[in-house]
Chains A and B, each alone.
Chain A
Amino acid sequence: MVSIEALEFTYDGQRKFQFPDFSIDREPLLILGESGVGKTTLLHLIAGLLRPESGKVSIDGQEVSNLPLHKMDRFRGRHIGMVFQRPQFIRSLDLGENLRFIQYLSGKSPDNTRIKKVLDSLGLSDRINCASYMLSQGEQQRAAIAMALINHPTLILADEPTSSLDDRNCQNVIALLQQQAEVHQADLIIITHDLRLKEGFTQTLSL
């Protein structure tokens, strides 16, 4: 359950963004918009990586826009999983260690069964000891989803997860995200300028 209300943000006192109110509950949301309309800004506001100038963001009944910084870090670690346009990993760790470290960051105790389960569901079990930069691009994209899911998030935020993928992989990734969100009973918000995605979503929002 995510809702935003009268959200506003200004960069350097010049570029002002106002975002329409919305609220979702278990139904995946696709946010479409051209470059520069503030899609990533909106996503970062929801994730608490940016502070809104005014307005409210609530996740599962918790108003996050005014949480102190360290509490926001903790909240993000426990409740939000993020997928980025280009998959990001900690370079010096292998895939399994990356997942374990993300578990550690959320303050949860290490859970190898969970790691195994998530990797299994994404077809990556045999890559657990592989250095992140040795994974193929398709594997990296799936591994990025594994990172987002590992801590049982209640909200998955995906920032242009498909822009660098071909049609077939694009469909696969979106299907995976939707399927995994459903399995994990998490809210899913995807922002993109990729019109290929429009068909698969019942809820869309254009900025």
Chain B
Amino acid sequence: MNVLHLSLKNIISRPWWSGLSLVLLILGVGMIALMGHLEKNVNKTIAQNTSGIDMVVGAKGSPLQLILSSVLHIDAPTGNIPLSTLETLRHDRLVEKAIPLSYGDNFQGNRIVGTDSGFMGFYRLELAQGHGFKEDFEVVIGESVAKATGLKIGDRFTGAHGLQGGGHSHDEHAYKVVGILKYSGSVADHLILTSQESVWHIHSHEEDSDQKDHHEEEQEITAILVKFRNPMGIIQLPRKINQLPNLQAAVPTIEMNRLMGLLGVGVDTLKMVSVAIMLIGSLSIFITLLATMQDRKFEMAFMRAYGASRKQLVALVLWESLVLTGIGTLIGLFFSRLGMWVLNGAFKESYHYGIDLLAFGKEDLRIFLVACAMGVVAGIIPALQAFRLNISKTLANA
């Protein structure tokens, strides 16, 4: 039985007041931590997937959409561009690498991307099993795709038209799995890679059978990922491309900064609301301590009469505030992870992005320390009252 123990007993002895303070703290801390964690993870995911991509070339439209579709693979493409663009870019002395992307189909919601063997090197992908795609309709699948669909080397499947699950399926052409990638933490985990020719064959065949216009069309691709040879590229090429009809160049870092700037307003507002809730939580602790001080005066004077020092009374009051704040904060942090877990499910469902869940970082420690500081501040005035208590007068009036 000591001062800390007594402070716990005192907290429990006023369950409604303590409960109110706890709920407010849990809500405030939980929301702040959730926002912080979410922001960090989104930033990390974006950084991971945009690194090495200096520029994306695609059809005219929203540059943000172009980046979202061809870098993060979460939006519809802006349209198609002629294959000749790829050759032009590859001949530019400022371009180190140019990787084509062709979309069209999906398998159970996982995008089938027509590209060339350069894609693997671009994302530094390694094969866990099998070999890369060589023949038409051979595919290499990402680690998450393999897990989610259960596809193995040698399995055959047919893609469905469009980029979301469902849609008309190309039953006449089956893809064959020839390789499975190692986990990379990048978008490639959720992709099915194949050659461009495979994608073209499926769709041109379709047009043949539909007896549509039969004239020789130029082959088309959806977008090109570009890595520059040197920083001059970023200055010259985007401008040059944007002047061409039907083509646009988007720079991932610029577009992502723009996106985060837009989201940031919402995130900041939510953070501010959470801080306000947390402050109200501290305020409720302060008010509780202050309000109960009137009743506890006698018991405090009595404790002094039995040898308690002023320091011990101050410690008692501060502990009550600090313990309540500490418990509220810890539960809040726990709830933020619970929230992440729920959100993670939704994220995986709709965007195929996983978020690492339980890592407690510096950010959480900072929240915890700030909350504890707030707990001390909330306890200071009541603690001072305990310090200044006139024992003799209080006991005489008891």
Residues of A within 8 A of B (CB): 40-41, 44, 47, 49-50, 69-70, 73-74, 76-78, 82, 84-86, 88-93, 97, 100-107, 110, 147, 151, 159
Contact = CB atoms under 8 A, between A and B. Distances in A.
A78 to B, nearest CB: 7
Chain B facing A: main interface SS: helix
Contacts of A92: 6, 9-10, 12-13
Given A91-B299, A102-B306, A151-B307, 18 more contacts: A69-B309, A70-B311, A73-B307, A73-B308, A73-B309, A78-B307, A84-B395, A84-B398, A86-B398, A88-B398, A90-B6, A90-B299, A91-B13, A92-B6, A92-B13, A93-B1, A105-B312, A107-B307
A93 B9 contact: yes
Contacts of A151: 307
Interface string B368-397: 000000000000000000000001100110
Interface of B: 1-2, 6, 9-10, 12-13, 298-299, 302-312, 391-392, 395-396, 398
Nearest to B396: A40
Given A44-B392, A90-B299, A93-B9, A101 B307 contact: no
Contacts of B306: 76-77, 82, 102, 105-106, 147
Looking at A44, A49, A84, A86, which has the most chain B CB atoms within 10 Å of its CB? A49
19 contacts: A44-B391, A44-B395, A49-B305, A50-B392, A69-B310, A73-B304, A73-B309, A76-B306, A86-B398, A88-B302, A89-B299, A90-B303, A93-B1, A97-B9, A102-B306, A102-B307, A104-B1, A105-B307, A151-B307
A141 to B, nearest CB: 14
Nearest to B307: A77
Contact of A74 (B1, B302, B307): B307
Contacts of A78: 307
Contact of A105 (B9, B303, B391): B303
A105 B308 contact: yes
A101 B305 contact: no
Nearest to A106: B307
B298 to A, nearest CB: 6
Contacts of A106: 306-307
Contacts of A70: 309-311
Nearest to A148: B306
B309 A76 contact: no
Contacts of B9: 92-93, 97
Contacts of B398: 84-86, 88
A24 to B, nearest CB: 20
A148 B342 CA distance: 57
A49 B395 contact: yes
Nearest to A93: B9
B13 A97 contact: no
A145 to B, nearest CB: 13
Nearest to A131: B13
Contact of A47 (B1, B6, B12, B305): B305
Contacts of A50: 392
Contacts of B395: 40, 44, 49, 84, 159
